């Protein structure tokens, strides 16, 4: 986007149109970094965290939104949650360097608040186009916000886990966000579930 929505379009529609015109990841990243669809986020952000997308990746991890360390670095999942995620990925035999890591919302909400529905809606065009460009075999949603964004509202993580869902974006596996694993501690159910689900993902990828 160039600073204001295209004439006659809502902010979400303008993002969708701009994202759809991007033919490569680099074009999309450049366009997303100029996005001004959410004024509150534009004022508070240090960077637009477009995401990591190694060439030829087979797996995409999707979280909710960047935190403070992500906002500063411009990369997703580099704070405490990211370090735990790296540890659990390694335990499952998954190499983060070969995995795309994205968020539904690309800018950090002030004080790490939950993204507003309008912000999620405005940003969805970027994420949807990212998934189109990547064409990965499997998508893993980390936490309820990302899960409901791809699979619809009304789902509960506890009942949605443990199986592969078919969504317009592709095959989706649901699990907890690493922040929940941190909140409940090393022996808590979310950490155990996250480790189990990442192991299932590794098995699914190995079988193809």
pLDDT level of residue 146 (50, 70, 90 thresholds): very high
Please name the residue that has the structure tokens 């929505």.
Answer: 5
Q: What percent of the chain has pLDDT over 90?
A: 92
For residue 158, the tally of other CB atoms under 10 A from its CB is 11
Using DSSP's 3-state secondary structure scheme, residue 16 falls into helix
Q: What is the mean pLDDT of residues 64-90?
A: 97
By CB neighbour count within 10 A (0-12 exposed, 13-18 middle, 19+ buried), where does 181 fall?
Answer: buried
pTM of the predicted structure, to 2 decimals: 0.94
Q: What is the pLDDT of residue 3?
A: 45
Residue 115 has pLDDT above 60, yes or no: yes
Region of 69 on the Ramachandran plot (φ > 0 left; ψ -120 to 50 alpha; else beta): alpha
Rounded CA gap, 137 and 59, in Å? 6
Rounded CA gap, 31 and 48, in Å? 10
Strands 59-63 and 99-103: parallel
CATH of 11-206, one of 3.40.470.10, 3.40.50.2300, 3.40.50.970, 3.40.50.720: 3.40.470.10
Q: Which two tokens stand for residue 21?
A: 């015109």
Please name the residue that has the structure tokens 């899960």.
Answer: 147
Question: What residues does each domain of the chain span?
Answer: 11-206
Q: What is the pLDDT of residue 7?
A: 60
């Amino acid at each position: 986007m160039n600073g204001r929505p295209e004439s006659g379009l809502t902010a979400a529609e303008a993002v969708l149109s701009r994202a759809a015109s991007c033919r490569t990841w680099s074009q999309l990243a450049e366009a997303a970094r100029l996005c001004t669809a959410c004024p509150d986020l534009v004022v508070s952000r240090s960077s637009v965290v477009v995401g990591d997308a190694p060439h030829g990746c087979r797996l995409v991890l999707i979280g909710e939104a960047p935190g403070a360390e992500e906002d500063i670095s411009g990369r997703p999942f580099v704070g405490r949650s990211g370090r735990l995620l790296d540890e659990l990925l390694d335990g499952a035999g998954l190499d983060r360097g070969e995995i795309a890591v994205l968020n539904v919302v690309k800018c950090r909400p002030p004080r790490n608040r939950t993204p507003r529905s309008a912000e999620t809606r405005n940003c969805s065009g970027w994420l949807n186009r990212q998934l189109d460009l990547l064409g990965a075999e499997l998508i893993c949603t980390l936490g309820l916000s990302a899960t409901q964004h791809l699979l619809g509202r009304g789902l509960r993580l506890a009942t949605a886990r443990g199986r592969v869902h078919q969504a317009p974006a592709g095959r989706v596996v649901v699990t907890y966000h690493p922040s929940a694993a941190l909140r409940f501690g090393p022996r808590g159910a979310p950490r155990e579930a996250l480790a189990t689900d990442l192991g299932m993902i590794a098995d699914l990828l190995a079988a193809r």
